[in-house]
């Protein structure tokens, strides 16, 4: 069995989550990977990994996957709440289902899944939760109203959780990326997508998901008594 503790990553089938899975596996950690699509997680080819193909809001499924992974690898020491959904649009034109889904995935699941691991981290007085926020959790952008709302909420809840857990020695921290080249734009279309891509091209493209994974790994690998409370990581050329 691995000497390193169990790391749980949501949204591990793509983008930042998949890159983070590869980075932590290379660092020797056993993993629990969670996303709805199983194949891309299988394709990562990580031996010491439990895979859970489920919705992050299916608390019963996440909970039983956690139990399975902990049985195999020992207690979870890091939860990375990474699964996320961005659908850019003016609110008037936005599908109401996508309003709901962005809050469900970006905010509600993040809190409910934190609840699954926190009591035992508090008991052990050890552990880390890393929430993936966004630069869009710090400033407003056009056509981002709902996504902005979800990420501002992530930032606020991360700071609240950090304060609640400081006395237990449990770290809660935020990684807020700028533009990263992933599939996140898959729910954005038309002129809004064109405008986003034009800006991205004008700055020479986004970060690679591996760049963000490196920031996450670096923050986690610090000794437990040191917390990078908030990391904003973006292309140097991004000026917005």
Binding site for ligand NDP (CB under 6 A): 10-17, 35-37, 55-56, 82-86, 105, 132, 134, 177, 179-180, 182-184, 206, 209
The yes-or-no answer on residue 147 being catalytic is: yes
Q: How far is the CB of 186 from ligand NDP (least distance, A)?
A: 6
Grouping H, G, I as helix, E, B as strand and the rest as coil, residue 197 is helix
Our CB check for ligand NDP shows the closer of 18 and 76 to be: 18
* 210 within 8 A of 111, measured Cβ to Cβ: no
- 183 DSSP assignment: S
Grouping H, G, I as helix, E, B as strand and the rest as coil, residue 144 is coil
Q: How far is the CB of 1 from ligand NDP (least distance, A)?
A: 27
Strand partners, 10: 34
Dist CA 199 CA 181 (whole Å)? 13
Catalytic residue chosen out of the listed positions 141, 147, 168, 220:
147
Task: Establish how many alpha carbons lie within 13 A of residue 133's alpha carbon, considering only the half-sphere containing its beta carbon.
Answer: 27
Our CB check for ligand NDP shows the closer of 103 and 168 to be: 103
Query: How many helices (H) and strands (E) in the chain?
Result: 8, 7
Our CB check for ligand NDP shows the closer of 44 and 224 to be: 44
Our CB check for ligand NDP shows the closer of 149 and 177 to be: 177
Our CB check for ligand NDP shows the closer of 17 and 30 to be: 17
CA angle 182, 230, 34 (to 5 degrees): 45
Q: How far is the CB of 57 from ligand NDP (least distance, A)?
A: 6
Q: How many CB atoms lie within 10 A of CB 204?
A: 10
Q: How far is the CB of 169 from ligand NDP (least distance, A)?
A: 26
Residue 237 has which token pair?
């050329």
State the distance between the two ends of the chain, measured CA to CA, in whole angstroms.
Answer: 45
Q: How far is the CB of 212 from ligand NDP (least distance, A)?
A: 7
- What positions carry a catalytic annotation? 147
């Amino acid at each position: 069995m691995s000497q390193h503790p169990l790391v749980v990553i949501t949204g591990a089938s793509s983008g930042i989550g998949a890159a983070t899975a590869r980075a932590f596996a290379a660092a020797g950690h056993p993993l629990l990977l969670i996303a709805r699509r199983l194949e891309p997680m299988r394709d990562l080819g990580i031996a010491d990994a439990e895979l859970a193909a489920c919705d992050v809001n299916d608390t019963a499924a996440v909970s039983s996957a956690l139990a399975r992974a902990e049985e195999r690898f020992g207690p979870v020491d890091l939860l990375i709440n990474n699964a996320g959904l961005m659908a850019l649009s003016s609110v008037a034109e936005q599908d109401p289902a996508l309003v709901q889904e962005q809050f469900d995935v970006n905010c509600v699941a993040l809190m409910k899944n934190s609840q699954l691991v926190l009591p035992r981290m508090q008991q052990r007085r050890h552990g880390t939760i890393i929430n993936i926020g966004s630069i869009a959790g710090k400033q407003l952008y056009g056509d981002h109203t709902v996504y902005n709302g979800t990420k501002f909420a992530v930032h606020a809840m991360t700071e609240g959780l950090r304060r609640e857990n400081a006395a237990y020695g449990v770290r809660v921290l935020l990684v807020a990326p700028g533009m990263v080249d992933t599939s996140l734009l898959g729910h954005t279309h038309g002129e809004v997508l064109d405008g986003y891509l034009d800006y991205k091209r004008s700055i020479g493209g986004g970060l690679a998901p591996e760049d963000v994974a490196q920031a996450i790994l670096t923050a986690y690998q610090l000794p437990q008594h040191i917390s990078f409370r908030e990391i904003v990581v973006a292309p140097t050329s991004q000026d917005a």
